[in-house]
Chains A and B, each alone.
Chain A
């Protein structure tokens, strides 16, 4: 049986529940690359040119790790969720880039709502590529999508309930592939929670609400995932003590959107930019002074 390789990077953090459930229900064996470690990072740097964004270097490292351990790589392409909800150009290009860098068959699906390519159609296409019958796919899709929705709603509920906490509350404004990655954001969120701080994540909000709120900062914004992030910031601007902006160097959308938001908010903020040379020790000092300051303001 053919094995599908799922790199633990970028897209994975948005859709992991949907994908793993879908493959489980379809009875397709798959392998997910391990959490990012130094070896994967090194492989990523080796396989990418040096100007690429750090998150993509990590992603390519995961791909390189999986290359000899599976039969197909699984890399979707996300173009847009309608014309006012576009994504970073890396999301558009990764499928073709990986196909050209690594000599390996790549499975994919394409989300392009402007041309009516929905996620449902995408997963059907994927299922057919794996040689499954429409009936099986429909069943697997329905169940997987239901599970994914339920899980997501639970996450959102839990995240929002943190806003009522008595502790010091900090919102992390970052893309999930940075916040939850072992080598990128995990150290920072771990540091915060170990210092008795409530960490709220900007990606775990209802995007129908946040996308509308994002327009209050700027009417022209058209990056879907940044809308999610800054909409969440608007949602809880008055309920939190501080904001930490986390971005990978040199993230295209973040460089403009975060800068604009920083110029407009009144909450104290800290801007951390991660790259392949950054070490946690450097961030620790900055985090410490930031949380100390927030603590004093809180009292």
Chain B
């Protein structure tokens, strides 16, 4: 019997696991959480100057295969991300693992036809009706998760009882795992939203607000950014992040179509999420955020390209930007020093 696994991004392994177990008649192996061993494995077998998410996802794939998976599912974006699957399959084959890697999205465009075709290949008894039904539930689940995450990011820095948000989030995630249908999903969401809102927070009058933008994998996988959001909230800073799975899957297309007409600094799409981050910089500046942190993995071509444009916009609006590059060797101490200097500067500007 085939055993399916997939690389991990943030908490989205829960909806992904939910979808695959309900749609496919195969065993699904949830990937183990990323550890430093995962990264070591990934770095060891990757080409030198490939971007960091390749190394991380290769690491999780190897760990998944060692747990018994023989079919892996990879995604793709509007850059070289869509080409990961081919090379990863070859690398795994050279390592004598017998696995098939499927790429659900190619050339930057998700197509339902391709997904159905691939699922049929994995499981001959697959029915597309099931995919539509559970696909919609999964999308809804992702949407709810992102909504709650938005609330958490905004408020976690001001929790009165330390750790209360994270404990509740764990509880919520395990509740999402055993959803039966739309009604129970909605009930669970409402219940936990209520619980989160009733958690005690104390917001001082003059708190700092920072927006995080950048490349999607580094933003959404906390291990890839050395738990940057946790460092921010430990320093009593409220966080805003536009890039979520909901945004990428559902909203991106329409928002960018409208935005490109309005934005004067750029005229065209810049590849992957480049133009989105230009727009987000503008939004963050206009909404009075104190600072912006731009994250990317090493060698991320589209994000490197937009860096001068982002700093130009932020300069005009007089908002400081911190550019951070993450790769497998980023040390936590170095990162913390840079962040603390940045926070101090933001606070001094506030006091003026």
Contacts and interface: CB of A to CB of B under 8 A. Distances in A.
A262 to B, nearest CB: 9
A49 B305 CA distance: 9
Q: Contact size class for B?
A: 35 or more
B304 A96 contact: no
B80 interface: yes
A252 interface: yes
A259 B88 CA distance: 11
Interface residues of A, number: 42
Given A49-B307, A220-B85, A89 B109 contact: no
B50 A259 contact: yes
B268 A77 contact: yes
Interface of A: 48-49, 51-53, 77, 79, 83-84, 86, 88-90, 92-97, 99-101, 110, 218-223, 249-253, 255-257, 259-260, 263-264, 273
A93 B80 contact: no
Interface stretch (B128-136, B183-191, B269-277): B269-277
A53 B103 contact: no
13 contacts: A77-B268, A83-B107, A86-B108, A89-B270, A90-B271, A93-B268, A93-B270, A93-B271, A94-B305, A97-B306, A256-B84, A257-B83, A259-B50
Contact of A89 (B47, B50, B301, B325): B301
Contacts of B54: 256
Contacts of B265: 96, 99-100
A33 to B, nearest CB: 20
Contacts of B302: 89, 93
Contacts of B51: 252, 255
Contacts of B82: 220, 222
In the A-B complex, the 4 residue pairs with the closest CB atoms: A89-B271, A250-B49, A93-B270, A252-B301
Nearest to A56: B305
Nearest to B310: A100
Contacts of A90: 271, 301, 305
Contacts of A95: 267-268
Contacts, number: 121
B308 interface: yes
Contact of A83 (B79, B109, B271, B272): B109
Contacts of B109: 83
Interface in B118-177: none
Nearest to B278: A96
Given A96-B265, A249-B49, A49 B108 contact: no
B306 A250 contact: no
Contacts of B103: 220
Contacts of A92: 268-271
Contacts of B48: 255
Nearest to B76: A220
B80 A252 contact: yes
A86 B107 contact: yes
A220 B102 CA distance: 10
Interface string B55-79: 0000000000000000000000011
B299 A255 contact: yes
B268 to A, nearest CB: 6
Contact of B272 (A52, A84, A89, A100): A89
B249 interface: no
A222 B83 contact: yes
Nearest to A251: B49
Given A92-B269, A259-B50, A263-B94, 9 more contacts: A51-B325, A86-B107, A86-B108, A99-B266, A99-B267, A250-B49, A250-B299, A255-B49, A256-B86
